[in-house]
Chain A
């Protein structure tokens, strides 16, 4: 008797809950305009579908919140259950800088072109750490989120893009530290300091492009997972980070320029030290290579993304 009574009470409360939901929809009507728009332009999934560029960009805009949330998740998770938390964003470049200064600067006596060694290394390490960690996290982003890929639709490019966005926080924290360096070393920075944030655009683009390409490749060939750390290690020595590009003879500069990171890293140094010698033609080539990589990576990603859920 009492049980039956309880049950009917339960049902009533559920019905009330349903009614509340229904009425909330009607008062919601105004913001439902977006689905009304969608009604006029039916969404299609076709085997032979060729997305128009405009459609893709509009779709990315529709999914911007998911993009922020995924980047936010990556950041949140990165330092969860760590004692030092966000301090890691500072410890990593600072300690590396100290070691580089001692080992490469004082012991190996590699030239820093007259730039105070801590500045010389730190200004290159911040973009380098951003690049290498983004390459790694973006490159693994599709496979490590396979649960999402196989259960829900969203533009897949959001995953490597969110990884590229999430890494920026560490870069920004490091950049704040840089202000301290500028004051301590009494650097006469001028308008060239504006290059520091401006160079971030090609840097992010480069890391994102390469990361998306590797991510797409990693879905099919898991070799990529092992190749990335290895490649990063090699790249550290093939990029003017522990040495200035001037150690190369003039006629071999172009070789260095093929690595788009070279021109960028040197330009980051220039942003802090106006007297630092930059090969503008090398930077221009770096930017061109970056743009080329971006186009290649996006086309490759687009061509392969339809199969991600089937093979991941």
Chain B
């Protein structure tokens, strides 16, 4: 394997807040006259966006960079693309780099689609003859051929995006640096992006890829780099890094939700949900709820008085507000004759949580017999479902695959 990128002890310091505006313009002019090349500024109010980052990548590696917002991912990509310079350390890159930190960089509203293809291609480092050669393919890929001679200020944002991506897809670099382009665009667009990057990978190019779309990172990348507070926290096969990274969110979803203080809930309040917990089948707290795995939902309640024939149930919504399922013990043929005053809980065992990874919301309710009266209703609790390899194929599910999945077996027969 040939070494393609070598990064040594890279650090980047940013000055935050005011930019030496505490000096008056007069003082600055005096300073400037004394020594026009001196660097001014003080050491305080600085933040280390990257601290002592070192790693190497070989030709043909596809490296996914993950981390929370502000961890330093974009700074790293910007240094790799030579847009910004490190405070200390060094980067060595072999070959032609193309960076795609945005789709359609440098597009000018007044120019036509055709003119922008040439301009954008040139900005991304393509030669004019390369653009000439790929022009028809680019236009074809973008699907805007009808409007190619229209100024792009008349384009919809989707058309712009497609045109920009069409140019980028015909880049032919040795090293491609991609930042979060998947965050924009519809599912079809994202699929196109992923296919194009997959093509680069299979033709042996080195790719650096930042995304919050962990499934895409999992699918595309051979290696994962987890950056946390400016440092490399983990550098391992992508899948392992993602699992650890997801695990680090456990603190954000502390095995359940306190519900006593929930606002905007409905109902008369004779009985209320107080807490919701996620447990493993063995009864231990479940730090990470995974797609396709077993989980126990434990609903704690507090009753003010004896409630006869209550009904406990919940609805599960996607983060877009789509109702995925509504269920209750009655629906399962289980009846609860009465609940004594005081605290108690109800367990719901789920053998396989058949939703794709993502954010979900519970809306819990307690009613009397036949749906009335409503004692407690629309109590919201958050559920974050983490990525797992539900199909045991190494391919991860995400929102592009819908909301739910069915455990299944495929057989291929030749007739």
Could you list which residues of chain A lie within 8 angstroms of chain B, going by C-beta atoms?
14, 17-18, 20-22, 25, 28, 32, 34-35, 38-39, 42-49, 65-66, 69, 73, 76-77, 80-81, 145, 147-154, 220-221, 223, 299-300, 303, 306-307, 309-311
6 closest Cβ contacts across the A-B interface? Answer: A153-B82, A46-B90, A69-B122, A306-B85, A45-B91, A18-B199
* B174: Cβ under 8 A from any A Cβ: yes
B351 to chain A, nearest CB (A): 28
Flag whether B345 is at the interface (Cβ < 8 A): no
**Cβ of B122 and Cβ of A44 under 8 Å apart?**
no
Cα-based distance from A300 to B32 in the complex (angstroms): 12
B89 to chain A, nearest CB (A): 6
Question: CA A149 – CA B195 in complex, angstroms?
Answer: 29
Return 23 A-B CB contacts under 8 Å, by A number. Answer: A21-B199, A22-B203, A34-B96, A42-B93, A43-B93, A43-B94, A43-B97, A45-B86, A46-B90, A47-B87, A48-B88, A65-B127, A69-B118, A73-B119, A80-B151, A149-B83, A150-B83, A151-B83, A151-B102, A152-B81, A152-B124, A300-B36, A307-B85
> Which B residues touch A81, using CB under 8 A?
110
Contact A46 B84 (CB under 8 A): no
- Whether A45 pairs with B122 at a CB distance below 8 angstroms is no
B106 and A148 contacting across the interface, CB-CB below 8 Å: yes
Is there a chain A Cβ closer than 8 Å to B95's Cβ?
yes
Q: Hey, what's the 0/1 contact readout for B174-207 against A, CB within 8 Å counting as 1?
A: 1000000000000000000001001100110000
- Write the chain A residue with the least CB distance to B32: A217
From A147, A149, A299, B37 is in contact (CB under 8 Å) with A299
Q: Does B78 contact A (CB under 8 A)?
A: yes
B21 and chain A: residue at smallest CB distance: A221
Task: Collect the chain B residues with CB atoms within 8 Å of residue A42's CB.
Answer: 92-94
Q: For residue B283, give the distance in angstroms from its CB to the closest CB of chain A.
A: 43
Q: Are B82 and A45 in contact (CB under 8 A)?
A: yes
CB–CB A47/B88 < 8 A: yes
- Residues of B within 8 Å of A153, CB to CB, are 81-83, 97, 99
Contact of A65 with B122 in the complex, beta carbons under 8 Å:
yes
Taking a contact as CB atoms closer than 8 A, the residue among A66, A80, A149 that contacts B110 in the complex is: A80
Contacts of A306 in B (CB 8 A): 84-85
B30 interface hit (Cβ, 8 Å): no
Q: Are A77 and B83 in contact (CB under 8 A)?
A: no
- Chain A residue nearest in CB terms to B169: A21
- Identify the closest chain A residue to B11 (Cβ): A47
How close is A51's CB to chain B, nearest CB, in angstroms? 12
| Bound Cα distance from A35 to B174, whole angstroms | 8
Which residues of A are found within 8 Å of B81, using beta-carbon distances? 152-153
Question: Closest CB-CB distance, B131 to chain A, in whole Å?
Answer: 10
Q: Specify which of B83, B94, B172 is in contact with A39 (CB 8 Å cutoff).
A: B94
Which residues of A are found within 8 Å of B90, using beta-carbon distances? Answer: 44-47
